[in-house]
Structures are given as structure tokens and as C-alpha cells.
Amino acid sequence: MNAAATNRPSSRLIYVVAPLCAAMAIWGMIAPDDLASTAADITGTIFASLDWFFMGSVTAFLGLTLWLGLGRYGRLRLGGPDERPEFSTASWLSMLFSAGMGVGILFWGVAEPMTHYVAPPIGSGETALAARRAMVLTNLHWGLHAWSVYCIGALVLGYFAFRRGGRWLAGAPLRLVFRGRWVGPVANLADGIAVVAIAFGVAGSLVMGVMQLQTGLNLAVGWSADSASVGFAILVVLTIAYMLSAATSLDKGIQLLSNANVALALLLLVFVLFAGPTGFLLRSAATALGDYLTALPGLSLSLYPYQDTGGWLEAWTLTYFIWWIAWAPFVGIFIARISRGRTIREFVLGVTLTPTLLSILWFAVFGGTGLHAEMTDHPGFASVVAEDITLALFTLYDTLPGSLVLTGVSLVLIFVFLVTSADSATFVLGMLSSAGSLDPPRRQKLGWGVGLALMAAGLLLSRSIDAVRAVVVLGAIPFTFILILQLVALLRVLPGDLAQEVDRVASGPPDDDPPAPPAQPTDTVDAEVTA
């Protein structure tokens, strides 16, 4: 068999993916309910049958991430042995936090703990115990698991790209490591699924953000919360902003925006912390951290086989986990791109632990303020949240001083988070459609920018967020299998690379080596494995 033939990514990828995107978008526009229910039936069946598999996979990602970071492979670098990080650590952390969570954390900060407090999967709602468990469940969904999924996605791509000259495609690690007739089609499939997942994921996220902005503007300045024209106006402004950002190139544009935004978010966090019941919030943060660490091993694999939770696990935990997987190709490429020159240890600790700690604090402050309001002097808050999640954050602000300013700041945050997400997305999609180039032509980026805006406009027109979500999840389920294959590919090459690194250090001073080799031809890295 000719190895080169199997290793070439299909150039016809775009001709399969683009019509598929268009078909899904049109189906979603014409019959959003139909699309949503079909997709929900499929994902529902798969979740119900294979919940153990998805839960186990994500937990395994977490275990392997920590093992990679803390174990002997931690010294290997994403890049040549002498490369050093491109971005400062603080800037790097804020960029990855804003790319990975961004809008979601504003959206769910108040709402999610409140929802689990009212309707926990087991036990009765609206008790002190339910409040405590609500924090643990929220952290389970937004904590280490989420970031370890991103971490694996980013690590695999970054490692192969920076050390072995792999293309920036989801199928690249498979092509580099495995041999066999199955590799070509599976790798092409991986590339395709990644593009679909990114395009739909980002378009859906844009629409969700536009809706939240609309709710916020309705509360702040009284613009209609339902009118499509207000929604379109917001989308147009948003599009102009991220296109401008994309045109000024990744480094300047995103870095500036991310840093500013994370600083603003931290400011908001600090303000709510001190304007709210400060002691209560800090106690709840400490308790949440302790409870989370204690409950983590059990909850990580908890599938409630003996209780009837009415599909709670599928609706919440598995949906979150599959979302993180859906976003992994996008966020993964982005995180990898900004992490060149870091060791695996730095990378793993930076990508998993820091954001997790920050999100625990975030949920403790925002969720805690909400719970405090509901449990003490503002009953009725929980039922407002149950009816309209987009109201949660803004309703909470009503209980704090300066609510109008807080609302304004949050709207700015949401806006900028959306701009940075969309900006990165145009970059990543441009890269994928220019055969994995790390510096995609501006024309490609702007083309994808317009494409994303049009898809978002279509979804906004249908006003059904369900349709796009269902498709995102549908794309992410097969991607789980691909992520596992990628991880196996990584694990196969690590021992050899470590041995090489040890030899190199033993054989002489580093300045003898050529700087940052974009790696050898990879055909000989691994021998044929017949599956």
C-alpha cells in the first residue's frame, strides 16, 4: 500500500462539508422543530444507551490529562526543544479562558446553581443540602472535565503540528501515526466533522449571545426583546466588530480584546463579591472547592442507575460534556496555536487547573449571590430564572447597587466575548479551509466571517436555538471517537519522543541542534498497525 496516498487529506472536503452545512441550515430554517426533534431523538437514544461510554471517556480524558501533566512526559515541549512561549503567561491564560467559556459563564453563572437548587437530580429541592449539591454539580459541568477535554484536543493537535509538522486538521494525528485502509476515510471524516462542529457551534453561540444581548438591552434601554429587527441590528454590529478584529490579525486583535475582557470580567467578579454578601460568598467558594474535590471521583462516573432521575443526566451532565467535545476542535486549535513553546506540564496545568479554579470562584460568587437572594430576602428569584434563563443575571443585578451599570458592563462583556469567539472562529475555519495553514489568507477569514454571520442570521430568523444545538451535539458524538483515536496516536509517539529528548540532552549542549525543526517526514515514525 502506498502510505502517501492514505496520508493526504482530501482536498474535496469542502465540497462535502459546505453543502452539508447549507442543507442543515436550510432544514433548520424551514422546519426547525422537525430538525430539532429528529436530532434529539437520535442523540437521546445514543445517550440513553451509551451514557457510561461518554461519561467514562470524558473522565478518562481527565485522568490522562493529569497523568500527562504530572508524569514523566510533562517535560516534552509543544515545539522544538529550545522554543519559548510566544505569549506571557497571564495573557495566555486570559486568552484561553475567554475562548473556552466566555459567554457561557455569564449566561449560566447565576442560572445553573439556581436550577439545580430548585430541581436536583436526587433528593428534594430548595433545601440547604440542595444548595450545596447545586454548587458541586455546576462545578462538575464547568470544571476539570470541561478543561481536560479542551486540553486533550489542543495537546494532540499542537503536539503533532509543532513537533512533527502535522497539518492543523483533526485527522492529522491519525494520518501521521496509524496505517491501514481505514485511516484515510476516518481521517477525512474527522476533518469534516470538525468543520461542521465549529461552524454550527459558533453560529449557534452567536445567536445565543445575540438573544442575551437583546434581553439585556430590553432591560437597560427598553428595546424590544422579541423583535427580529433588533436582533438583526445587534448581529450586524457584532459582525462588523469581529470582522474588524479578524482583519487586524490574530495576535493584535484577539490578545488585546481578551485581556481587556478578562480584566473587565474579573472586575465584575470582584464588585459582585464585595457588593453582595461577601462573607457568605467566600464561605460558599471554599465549601464548593472542598465539596467538589471530595465528590469528584464519585460524581465523575455517577450514572444514577438505581434512581429515576427523569433523564437528568442526559439533559445536563452528558449534554455539557458533549458540548465541550463539540467545541474541542475549535477551542483546541486555538489553544494549541497560542501555546507553542510550552512544556506539556505547563500546558496541562495552565489549561486545566487555573480556569477551573477561576470558574469555581465565579460560580460561587454569582451562583452564591443568587442562592443567597432566593434563600433569604428575595424569594421568587428561582421561579423567574426557571422561566427565562436570559433574565437570571440581570434580575440578580436588581438586588445589587448600581444595577444599570452592572447590566451595561455585562452587555459589553458578552459582546466582546462573542467578538473574540467569532474572530477566533474565522481564523480556525480559514485555517482548515486553506489546508491547515497557520496564517490563513485574510480573504479566507473574511469569507468565513460573512458565512458565520449569514448562518447566524438564518438561525435568528427561525428563532429556534434547539435546531442548531441538536446538530452540534449530533456532530460531537462521532467526534468523541475521533478524540479517543487522536489521544491513542499521541500516547503511541510520546515514549519514543521522550527517549529522543533524553538522548539529546545527554549527547551535548542544546545550541548544537538546529532551532525548532518542523520535524522529520513522518512516514517512518511508526510502523504499520493493522487493526
Partner 1 sequence: MKHFVITLLTIAVPLLAACDRPDAPVRVGAKAFSEQQILAHAQVAILASRGIDAEIVECADTWACRDALARGTIDAMVEYTGTALRFVGAPRCEGDAIDCLNGLDTEDGWTWHTRLGFENTYRLFVRDDAGAPSDLSALATSGPMRIACPREFLRRPGDGLAALERRYGLTIDGEPRVIDDPTERYRALLEGRVDVVVGYSTDGAIDGLPLVLVEDDLGFFPRYDAAFVLRDAVTETHPDLVALGDTLADWIDEPLMRRLNYEADVEGRDPAEVARAALVEAGVLDDDDGATSGVPVRVAVDADDSLGSLSTEVLRIVRAGFIGRPATVVEVDDAMATVSDNDARIALVGAERFFVGHDRDERLEAAVVVGERYVVAITRDGVPTRTGSIGMPPAGSGARSIVAATTGLADATVEGDPASLVEAVADGRIETAYVVVSLDDTDVRMAVTEAEVQVVAPPIATSASLAVLLPARVPAGTFDGQPAAIETRAVQVVLAAVSAERASREATGGPATAMHAGGVPLRREQVNAMAAASTVAEAPHPALPSAWTPPPTAAESPVFTLARALDTALNAFAFFFLFATARLLFARRSGSATGTDG
The residues that touch partner 1, with contacts defined as CB under 8 A, are: 44-46, 48-50, 53, 107-108, 111-112, 115, 118-119, 125, 141, 178, 208, 211, 310-312, 314-316, 319-320, 323, 377-381, 383-384, 386-391, 395, 398-399, 401, 464-466, 469-470, 473, 481, 484-485, 488, 491-492, 495-496, 499-500, 520, 524-529, 531
CB of 314 to partner 1, least distance (A): 6
Q: Alpha-carbon distance 182 to 453, whole Å?
A: 36
CB of 399 to partner 1, least distance (A): 7
Residue 139 cell numbers, joined? 462545578
Spatial contact of 456 and 281, defined as CB atoms under 8 Å apart: no
CB of 336 to partner 1, least distance (A): 22
CB of 251 to partner 1, least distance (A): 33
For residue 393, how far is the Cα from the chain centroid? 21
Q: Which is nearer to partner 1, 141 or 167 (CB)?
A: 141
Q: Which is nearer to partner 1, 107 or 200 (CB)?
A: 107
CB of 391 to partner 1, least distance (A): 6
The residue type at 211? M
Q: Left (φ > 0), alpha (ψ -120 to 50) or beta: where does 353 sit?
A: alpha
Quote the DSSP letter at residue 531.
-
Query: In 165-277, which residue ranges form alpha helices assigned H by DSSP?
Result: 172-177, 183-221, 228-247, 250-275
Q: Which is nearer to partner 1, 293 or 461 (CB)?
A: 461
Burial of 521 (0-12, 13-18, 19+ CB in 10 A): exposed
Residue owning grid cell 438505581: 306
CB of 379 to partner 1, least distance (A): 4
Q: Which is nearer to partner 1, 18 or 491 (CB)?
A: 491
Spatial contact of 220 and 410, defined as CB atoms under 8 Å apart: no
Radius of gyration of the chain (CA): 23
Q: Which is nearer to partner 1, 377 or 512 (CB)?
A: 377
Residue 99 cell numbers, joined? 475562548
The residue type at 410? S
Residue owning grid cell 459589553: 412
- What b-and-e string marks burial along 52-86, b requiring 16 or more CB atoms within 10 Å of the CB? eebbebbbbbbebbbebbeeebbebbbbbbebebe
Q: Which is nearer to partner 1, 125 or 458 (CB)?
A: 125
Q: For helices 183-221 and 228-247, give the axis angle rounded to 10 degrees.
A: 120
Q: Which is nearer to partner 1, 442 or 492 (CB)?
A: 492
Q: Which is nearer to partner 1, 131 or 211 (CB)?
A: 211
CB of 249 to partner 1, least distance (A): 34
CB of 70 to partner 1, least distance (A): 20
